[in-house]
Chains A and B, each alone.
Chain A
Amino acid sequence: MSAQRNWTSASWYRVSDFRPRLRRHARIHRHLYRGDVWHVLQDRASGRFHRFRPAAYRLIAMMNGTRTLEEIWEHAVDKMDIDAVTQDELVRLVGQLYSADVLTGDVPPDIIELSDRGRRTKRSKIIKSLINPLALRVPVFDPNGFLNATMPIVRPLFSWFGWLLFFGITAYAIVLAALSIEVLTENVADRVLSAENLVLLLIAYPLIKAFHELGHCYTIKRWGGDVHEIGIMFLVFMPVPYVDASASIAFQSKWQRALVGAAGILVEIFLASVAMIVWTGAEEGLVRAFAFNVMLIGGISTLLFNGNPLLRFDGYYVLCDLIEIPNLGQRANKYLGYLVQRYVFGSSYAESPVSARNERSWFVFYAIAAYIYRLFITAAIIGVVATRFFFVGIALAAWALFLMLIFPILKGIWFVFTSPTLRRKRGRALGATGIFVAGLATLLLVTPVPHNTLAEGIVLPDSGSYANATADGIVEAVYVSEGQIVAAGAPLVGLSDPLVSARLELVNARIVEIERRIAAENLFDQTAVRIMEEELKAAQADRALIRQRIAEMIVRAPASGKVILPVSTDLLGRFAQRGDLLAVVARFEDPVVRVVVPEAQADLVRSGTQGLGVRLSSNPDLTYPASVSRTLPGLTRALPSRALSTEGGGRFALDPATPRDQNLALEPVLLLDLTLDAAPQLSVYGERAYVRFSHGETPLASRIYRAGVRVFLKYFASLDAGV
């Protein structure tokens, strides 16, 4: 049993001898929706529409001021299907018509009441726009005369020629776009959100929308409708023109109605196509930039917003017309609400909005898809905006969060607690809601989910592959070239030090001198000879040392592998200090990944790591297992590479107070060296590595607790300190 229908109305005594009369400005159109006949009543004064079943229409048709409601109802009971309309429904119908201003009675209308109602409507409009400042509407003028005058110019476009022109240009533009897709999509967000471009965008947007609205207008005119309101709407504070296209609802054919809705989209696509052609042909400059923006608005906004039926813009109305379900979005949400009330809460008062076959599946599909899409698109917009304008992004995010999540939840809670339709079922409703919330909470807080810490690191060769200068000297010769494979011990770089060879000569000369002096003194003074022999030994040792140093002037490969010369271009003639890195000979096989973990996660990573996974930025699809080979015992602020700082695209902010080249981070970090278990063949060193420390599966609750404790660490710590 659906909602209770009451046969009698408690207020019948008040209305039974009322003689209703339909006002003259009301027009009634006969429409087909999903095979059913409906009568659409158009109030030409206010531009509103009401949809009625044939049964109700028959009653409305009798309201000509000569019959009382009692008579109309008796006729209904007498001539129509007995339960088609109950007294209660008739009273409600008349009330609805009256408040829609399409009905008067036999008594002269109460002027005070009428003006009061007008005031109320006006005020509720203002309140509505105040509550939702993101969609403020300001009517500007009545364009009907203008449209009538200019219609002859536009009329030829509503023909086969028009369609041909449209499809021709669009097809050409699509081909062009496909050819230059890479140039088009490269770095779009940055290009679009630059300050100069935003100005262009702001100019282009209302212009395109103006054409868009004219498209609606002329299409309505094409089939004889009138457009009486054109104005400016502030969509997210951006002024956009709008037209009142409600006249199209009077069109009998759904294709005509749909085309009115689609006209705007078609116009925009056409403009975007023209802009594409201009963009391809034009030289770099203002015209080209403008064309790009036109394309962006016409293409992207149509695809993602305006033409997308999941948002309540033109595409939605086109869809509604085509599938013959008016008010799809609203009724879809209502239907979900009905399902919950009926089957979860067990309330028999819930009224299903379904009025035709096959509407159910549309409702379910649309309600869910539209919600998800709306969430997605909001998140995307906020994401793009927040990268550029952080605070605007945060404000938008808060607003969206409130509007899309918190407000519906509050409304739901309010409903569950106060709705009179849940009377007697409130216990069950509360129970079901409670179970749902509890289930959600369990899922979030108790169910263990993978717990990971993500960190960034840098790939380094292992410590045995560095060839450092063994002595001070000027680089004299480079024996290898970059990328050459060498064996261990092969000479890499030759250094020379003129001072050393001079000293060798000096020592040689000295040895000769001492030998001569020994020879001269040999016969006379044995003691002196002994002393000089010792001097000779020392000089010889000195020479050996210098010789060895000279031998060391050739830097050799510490291991066999491929040669990398970090400063290959100006190596020759350069002075190297002992210990300077001159070359790396690496096998590109088992690199070391030095990971930087922020202080906050240091403890967790150090003590709670159960598994490790490393992805390299050159090949992000592959995850390598790894193990910690070395942990720096303390925290440090020195980053192993500039690439990990925010300036190099990493996460760590550098301390602005220290010299740039020291790479000191603002906050202390933990450094870990990882070795990859299955060492891959590397192409380069120094690339960024993404490391996931897995801490097993923990419920979110413990993590929230942990985060909470960390936030208030200060207080806990000071407490301890006090003790």
Chain B
Amino acid sequence: MSSDTALIGVAPPQVRFYPERADRDPQWLDELGESALRALSQPLRATSAPFRVWYDLLRINRISRRLRELSDADFEDEIRRARVRLRRDMLSNRSIWLGIALTRETTFRTLGLRHHGVQVRGALAMLRGSLIEMDTGEGKTITAALAAATAALAGIPTHVITVNNYLAERDANTLSQIYERLGLRIGVILEDMKPDDRRQVYRADIVYASNTEIAFDYLRDRITFGREGPRGTRAKLRRVAQPMATENPVMRGLSFAIVDEADSVLVDEARTPLIISRQSDPEAEAVWTRVALDIAQALERGKDFIVIGDERRLRLTDRGRTTIGKIAAGRSGIWESPIRREEVISQALSVLYIFKNGEQYLVNDGKVQIIDEYTGRLQPDRSWSDGLHQLVEAKENVEITGQNLVMARMTYQRFFRRYMQLSGMTGTAREVKGELHSVFGLATVRIPPHRRSRLRFRRPRVFRKTSQKWKFVAQEVAREVSLRRPVLIGTRSVAASREVSAALELAGLAHEVLNAETVAESARIIADAGKTGRITVATNMAGRGVDIALEDEVVKAGGLHVILTERHDAGRIDRQLAGRCARRGEPGSFSTVLSLEDPLLDVIEAPVLKTLAQLPYITIGLRLRLFDRAQKRAEKVHARARRDLVRQDRRLNQLLSFAGGME
């Protein structure tokens, strides 16, 4: 440091890069033009793509052959030289070839696996910003390593995003040897990390993290940036003036992301936005909730308010309004405003007359816990907004907690669009291809399987009663186990996995259960799931992305048998379960066992079809069609919810654009 700067006492602040893509909210005309352009250029690209891929593979294989000949010491030298070249060239065609060949060779020298041609193709597509659809069991994790390592070698901070922390940790552990050999630092974001630790992890070249962790880290960064965003002039000046006082962001921006199980992350989970909130003062909450309940209790049903049928809504009458006005007279604060107090009293009334313990919520050791109306599961971490939760707490006479006040809110769609380059991989993308393109600008590239699949689908069975279904499942499991094959039973919810477990116990079959409650043991359970005669019950979410390694004996016996016991909201998720077996060209079989009492059928109203489906024997086609229809309908509902979310987000952003880059 020169004496001049020392005199002034100002150290030059570190240059900070925080790359992210600017939001663009296309109008309908843009979208129209884009889709027209796409339609025009599509044939051209489709015809040229095979040649390009062929040429790329040719060049990569040529480098691979050269690398294969090198001794370990020479290879180390080669890595060192290549790193410099890649750093200099960034992601050019040449550096991509070199990076992929280098990573491929490193993988072989560390893990003893060599990437297939199709895996190389997948990595190429991802490095060029596409989403690849690759059959389950084709080695997506290792394909991601090719792309991640190449990008990281080129000096691009790379995020590999998974669906949960377990997978992030597992993938990082599996691949760390390769990265270390290449001289790349790797980091994993875990749930309970402190911000400073996270900052350290994000400095790594490759970061493995679950989608929620990474999105929340970004959102927290946005809060520290304030309204001006990362590139705000004032913030820059403040950093010069008071280098110590400003808080540094945790992340290094959004450069390049590889999203594993992209359909799940980008589509299924994108239905609810991310929200960061802070707690309000519980004592203040206690005061107004008491008053609100008192007033609400003084109102007369039918005269002051009307409960509207089974809609679970109620409406204040004009008389009710005047009554509230009379009672509230003299109180200050929120009670002065007719609009506000009527809102509050309406809420209090619905808490008194519509919400019931055991239906919408459950009081569990002094806490009010929400019951998910769709799955019927308890959701201890969630709470209702706008004071509703506090009113319920006051009604049940438990300790009143603070309200969650929103500090930042962001949709996954907006978050992932901000990556400078986004890519992803999944086993099932066909159905959501259009959505992925229109929302994220991701083109879907289908990567053919390396070996033909040996998965056998069995004829689906649909029973009338759930009890019949479980009985049949137990029978089938017993049959397969007697053939010395392992069986994986997929369920939709934790409750269902318990039911299966009970049915198996009744039949005297020993089994393991893998669900949200047994996450801790998941590694062990999965490691054992491929052993002879092993029975594993897994919820879909818990079983996702795991690779069940089979014993040789099992492969000979016909591989893993998977039973789907309930169709999901999307056909994609069903297919993912099927992808648990017959991986890497191994044999495997898949059967579907359903019952007409499955909750999926509640989605549609088809009284005639449903009655007809009750007839025995001949109606299997009809029953399956009923399920197809329900699934289609559920898919449509979810797609619309997502579209509405994006649209609403866009509109809100336009309206609030004056507030700057706050989220």
Chain A positions near chain B (C-beta within 8 angstroms): 5-8, 10-11, 13-15, 18, 20, 77, 82-83, 86, 91-92, 94-95, 98-99, 103, 105, 107-108, 110, 112-113, 117, 120, 123, 127, 424
Contacts and interface: CB of A to CB of B under 8 A. Distances in A.
B657 interface: yes
A105 B660 contact: yes
A234 B291 CA distance: 65
A98 B407 CA distance: 23
Q: Which of B405, B408, B652, B657 is most buried by chain A, counting CB atoms within 10 A of its CB?
A: B657
28 contacts: A5-B339, A6-B339, A6-B343, A7-B339, A7-B340, A8-B340, A8-B386, A13-B406, A13-B407, A14-B656, A14-B662, A18-B659, A82-B337, A95-B655, A95-B656, A99-B654, A99-B655, A99-B657, A103-B658, A105-B660, A107-B232, A107-B660, A108-B234, A110-B657, A113-B657, A123-B27, A123-B29, A127-B29
Contacts of B655: 91-92, 95, 99
Contacts of A107: 227-228, 232, 234, 660
A583 to B, nearest CB: 80
Interface in B398-438: 405-408
A616 B234 CA distance: 92
Contact of B339 (A10, A13, A14, A86): A86
A105 B661 contact: no
Given A91-B656, A95-B656, A110 B661 contact: yes
Contacts of B29: 123, 127
A120 B26 CA distance: 10
Contacts, number: 71
B329 interface: no
Contact of B406 (A7, A10, A91): A10
Most buried by A among B407, B659, B662: B659
Contacts of A13: 405-408
B323 to A, nearest CB: 16
A306 B405 CA distance: 57
B338 A82 contact: yes
Contacts of B22: 112
A629 to B, nearest CB: 65
Contacts of A8: 340, 386
A18 B227 contact: yes
B5 interface: no
B646 to A, nearest CB: 15
Nearest to B387: A8
Nearest to B308: A424
B71 interface: no
Interface string B621-663: 0000000000000000000000000000000101111111111
- Among B336, B337, B661, max chain A CB count under 10 A is at B337
Interface in B185-224: none
A117 B661 CA distance: 15
B233 interface: yes
Interface in B154-198: none
Among B336, B660, B662, chain A packs the most CB atoms within 10 A around the CB of: B660
Nearest to A113: B657
Given A8-B386, A107-B228, A15 B336 contact: no
Contacts of B233: 108
A14 B222 CA distance: 12
Given A5-B339, A18-B227, A127-B29, A11 B656 contact: yes
B403 to A, nearest CB: 11
A552 B584 CA distance: 123
Contacts of B234: 107-108
A7 B337 contact: yes
Interface of B: 22, 27, 29, 227-228, 232-234, 311, 336-340, 343, 386, 405-408, 652, 654-663
Contacts of A86: 339
Contact of A15 (B27, B311, B405, B659): B659
B339 A83 contact: yes
A127 to B, nearest CB: 7
Nearest to A117: B657
Contacts of A82: 336-338
A79 B233 CA distance: 37
Contacts of B654: 99
A105 B658 contact: yes
Nearest to B311: A424
Given A13-B405, A112-B22, A20 B658 contact: yes
Nearest to A95: B655
Contacts of A92: 655
A4 B428 CA distance: 43
A95 B658 contact: yes
Contacts of B656: 11, 14-15, 91, 95
A18 B343 CA distance: 26
A6 B407 CA distance: 20
A433 B335 CA distance: 42
Task: Report which residue of A6, A7, A10, A91 has the largest number of chain B beta carbons within 10 angstroms of its beta carbon.
Answer: A7
Contacts of A14: 656, 659, 662-663
A108 B226 CA distance: 13
B444 to A, nearest CB: 29
A501 to B, nearest CB: 99
Contacts of A108: 233-234
A86 B228 CA distance: 27
Contacts of B340: 7-8
B30 to A, nearest CB: 10
A83 B338 contact: yes
B659 A105 contact: yes
Contacts of A112: 22
A110 B22 CA distance: 12
Nearest to B232: A107
Name the 7 nearest CB pairs between A and B, nearest first: A98-B658, A95-B655, A7-B340, A14-B662, A15-B659, A82-B337, A7-B339
Contact of B657 (A7, A91, A98, A123): A98
A77 B337 CA distance: 9
A210 to B, nearest CB: 35
Contacts of A110: 657, 660-661
B639 to A, nearest CB: 16
Given A7-B339, A18-B660, A83-B337, 8 more contacts: A6-B343, A83-B338, A94-B658, A99-B655, A107-B228, A107-B232, A120-B27, A123-B27
A6 B344 CA distance: 11
A57 B340 CA distance: 22
B346 to A, nearest CB: 11
A18 B339 contact: no
Nearest to B22: A112
A366 B227 CA distance: 47
Q: In the complex, which of the residues B22, B339, B658 has the most CB atoms of chain A within 10 Å of its own CB atom?
A: B658
A8 to B, nearest CB: 7
